[in-house]
Amino acid sequence: MKQSTICVHGHDKRYDSAGAVSVPIFQSATFVHPGVGQSTGFDYSRAKNPTREALEATVTALEHGVDTCAFTSGMAAVNCLTGLFKPGDHIIMSDDVYGGTLRLFVQVTATYGVKFTAVNTSDLSSVSAAITPDTKAVFVETPTNPTMQVTDIAECAELCHNRNLLLIVDNTFLTPYLQNPLDLGADIVLHSGTKYLGGHNDTLCGFLVSKSPEVAEQIRWLAKTTGAVLAPFDCWLVIRGIKTLAVRMERQQKSAAELAGFLRTLPTVTDVFYPGLPDHLGYEISKKQARGFGAMLSFNTVNKDVALLALEKCSVIAYAESLGGVESLLTYPLTQTHADVPREQREKLGITDRFLRLSVGIEDVEDLKADLAQALRA
C-alpha cells in the first residue's frame, strides 16, 4: 500500500464486533483475564492498550519499521531513548537539534554519565572525527530545527554501521509521508507526534520506531518500565490526525515553497532557509533521500525590530511555539524553542534576534502572503 492509503487504513485489525470504522477508545486501565494464566492479549494499559496498539501499528507501517512505541510527548520518547545507554557511553548529536532535546541530553542525561558531542552532522567528516571508542550512537535531526540543515542519512548510516553505532533520526520535520530514514539505513526513528502526525495543534505525542526486533524489544521494555505511554484518547486523536497526513503535507509543502519564494521578494527579509530552494545547501540531498521538502522554513529579517514587529503584527499566522499543524505558526527561536541553547552555539548556528521560523499551515496561501507582507514592514 502507498503512504496515503496507510494513513487512512493503517490498522485493519478490528477490536469490536459492531464494525466501527473508527478505532474505539479503550478507556480502560486494566483488562479482565478469561482464566488463570490466560490473557486476551491485553493485561494492563501501561504495557498494551488496543487504541494505542492501533496507532503504533499505523506508524510502524508508515515508517517501514518492526515496532513503534507511542509516548506522552516527543520529549518522553527522547527520554526513553536515553535508557538504551549507560554511564561512559558517548553519543554524537547534530549541533542544531530541537532545544528541548539538547536540554535533556546536556542538562539531564549527561549528569548520569552519558557523554555528548555536538557536531554539524551535515558534514560527515565532523561525525567521523568525533567518534571515540565509547561512541555508541549518532543522533541526527534532518532537516534541523530551526536552521534547516540537511544530513545525508544513507551516508551517515554507512559510517555508523562500519563502526557498529546506532543511527537515530528525528524525522519530525518531514514525516514518514516524505521521508523514511529506516529505509536509508537508520536504526531508530523518533517523532514528535505533536507536530505533523497529530497535525491539529491539539495533542502532545511522541514515537520511537525500531528497525530491528532486538532494539524494538529493548524500547518496548523501557516504555513499559518508565511508563510515559500515550493515553487512549490521545492515541485516538493522533490516529484521526494521521488519516489526513498526506493531504495536509501536500497542501502545506506547496504553500511553503510558494512562501519561500515570496519572502525572498520582501525588502525586509535578507535570507530564506528552505531545502526546496535550489541554492539551499541541502537541496540535492533532499531530492535524493526525501519525497518532498516539507513545510517548515526559517528566515532572517533586516533587523531585530522588524522581527519583533512581525510577531506582533501577524494575524492569520499565530505567534506561537510548535509546528506542523493546520494553523500557520510564527516562532522566535531565540526566546522560545531554543532559549536553552548556549549563546555561543546559537550564534554559530545563526539563531539571532532577527531570525524567525515559520510553520506553514493549510490556510489559503494568498491570505498567508498578505499576512506576511503586512507584518514584515520596516
Closest separation between CB of residue 265 and ligand PLP, Å?
Answer: 28
Contact assessment for residue 317 and residue 328, using Cβ atoms and an 8 Å cutoff: yes
C-beta atoms surrounding 15 within 10 Å: 14
Helix (H, G, I), strand (E, B) or coil at 378: coil
Interface stretch with ligand PLP, choices 97-105, 236-244, 279-287, 326-334 (CB under 6 A)? 97-105
How far CA 351 is from CA of 174, 269, 308, 355, 368, in Å, comes to: 21, 15, 14, 6, 24
Separation between Cα atoms, residue 327 and residue 171, nearest integer Å: 20
Based on the shown chain and the rule CB under 6 A, indicate whether residue 98 belongs to the binding site for ligand PLP.
Answer: yes
DSSP secondary structure code for residue 305 in this structure? H
Based on the shown chain and the rule CB under 6 A, indicate whether residue 172 belongs to the binding site for ligand PLP.
Answer: yes
Based on the shown chain and the rule CB under 6 A, indicate whether residue 336 belongs to the binding site for ligand PLP.
Answer: no
If the CB atoms of residues 192 and 268 are measured against ligand PLP, the closer one turns out to be 192
Among 67, 96, 98, 211, the active-site one is 98
Near ligand PLP by CB under 6 A: residue from 89, 170, 187, 234: 170
Residue 364: Cβ-neighbour burial (10 angstroms; 0-12, 13-18, 19+): exposed
Task: Reply yes or no on whether 46 is catalytic.
Answer: yes
Among 52, 115, 136, 195, the active-site one is 195
Based on the shown chain and the rule CB under 6 A, indicate whether residue 149 belongs to the binding site for ligand PLP.
Answer: no
Interface stretch with ligand PLP, choices 86-94, 187-195, 287-295, 351-359 (CB under 6 A)? 187-195
If the CB atoms of residues 51 and 194 are measured against ligand PLP, the closer one turns out to be 194
- Residue whose C-alpha cell reads 531585530 in the numeric block: 304
Based on the shown chain and the rule CB under 6 A, indicate whether residue 201 belongs to the binding site for ligand PLP.
Answer: no
Based on the shown chain and the rule CB under 6 A, indicate whether residue 220 belongs to the binding site for ligand PLP.
Answer: no
Based on the shown chain and the rule CB under 6 A, indicate whether residue 11 belongs to the binding site for ligand PLP.
Answer: no
Name the β-bridge partners of 358.
297, 330
- For 208, list phi and psi in degrees, rounded to 5: -125, 125
Near ligand PLP by CB under 6 A: residue from 82, 101, 175, 268: 101
For 130-195, give the DSSP string: H--TTEEEEEEESS-TTT-----HHHHHHHHHHTT-EEEEE-TTTHHHH--GGGGT-SEEEEETTT
Near ligand PLP by CB under 6 A: residue from 192, 210, 286, 300: 192
For 198-242, give the DSSP string: T-SS----EEEEESSHHHHHHHHHHHHHH--BPPHHHHHHHHHHH
Q: Any residues with CB less than 8 A from the CB of 365 and at least 6 apart, and which?
A: 254, 255, 258, 259
**Count of residues touching ligand PLP (by CB under 6 A):** 15
Near ligand PLP by CB under 6 A: residue from 135, 145, 255, 328: 145
Near ligand PLP by CB under 6 A: residue from 10, 65, 206, 276: 206
**What track of x and - describes contact with ligand PLP for positions 23 through 62 (by CB under 6 A)?**
----------------------------------------
Based on the shown chain and the rule CB under 6 A, indicate whether residue 236 belongs to the binding site for ligand PLP.
Answer: no
Separation between Cα atoms, residue 337 and residue 119, nearest integer Å: 19
Near ligand PLP by CB under 6 A: residue from 94, 121, 194, 359: 194
- Tell me the catalytic residues: 46, 98, 170, 195
Give the interface with ligand PLP as residue ranges (CB under 6 A). Answer: 73-75, 98, 100-101, 141, 145, 170, 172, 192, 194-195, 204, 206
